[in-house]
Amino acid sequence: MGYEAFYTSLGLQPAVIHELMDRLLANKRAYWEKVLGEVGDLLDVVQEGDDLGTQTSLLISPAMYRTFIKPREKELFAFIRRRTDAKLFFHSCGAIHPLIPDLIEVGVGILNPVQFTASGMDARRLKREFGRDLVFWGGGIDTQHMLPYGSPQQIREAVRRQKETLSPGGGFVLAAVHNIQADVPPENLMAFMDEAPGL
């Protein structure tokens, strides 16, 4: 549909979006049925994702998410959980704090990438509010500003702060917030890896 047609249709043609989402759900179910039928007993983690946020806000209102997306996520995630004991890893960039309780409700156990620089996504707040229910996979270093433009010492200090914030009590897989881009100086990458044992 393209972004513009999709977003306007949420408000103007909801029946079209319901039909589209049902078809996407059917495709996802067929995919996971095949994959999990082959290797479901061998997996530790199953990944699904759908970017729900921008740097400053959600892409759609919570009401629209709960009308169009959440019921399908609930059905798909239950379908997956019936076929594997793997933990459900969900990827969404952006400012998604208002939807995190919904994600937990539909069965998400691991949140990625933990974009703690987006609005409302302060790492301390996330750990305090959701640390008992979620594993935070990511959030180790900001990849937009700090990793490419900080000094090696600033990067080491930033990673230490994130470990101190997200590690207590477990539930933290230290990884960069997102893919490491080509503009990251090698010395900055090494500084990050020095503070992230096991990478």
Between the two ends of the chain, the Cα-to-Cα distance in Å is 39
pLDDT at residue 143 in the model: 96
pLDDT tens-digit profile of 7-29?
A: 999 999 999 999 999 999 999 99
Give the pLDDT of residue 198.
58
0.75 surpassed by pTM: yes
Domain positions in the chain are 3-195
Which ranges of the chain have pLDDT less than 50? 199
Structure tokens at 189: 């990458």
Q: What is the third-level CATH fold of 3-195?
A: TIM Barrel (3.20.20)
Q: What is the DSSP code string of 23-84?
A: HHHHHHHHHHHHHHHHHGGG-SEEEEE---B-SSSBSS-HHHIIIIIHHHHHHHHHHHHTT-
Let me know: does 84 contact 36? Beta carbons within 8 Å.
Answer: yes
pLDDT of residue 61: 97
Say what the pLDDT of residue 197 is: 74
pLDDT at residue 196 in the model? 86
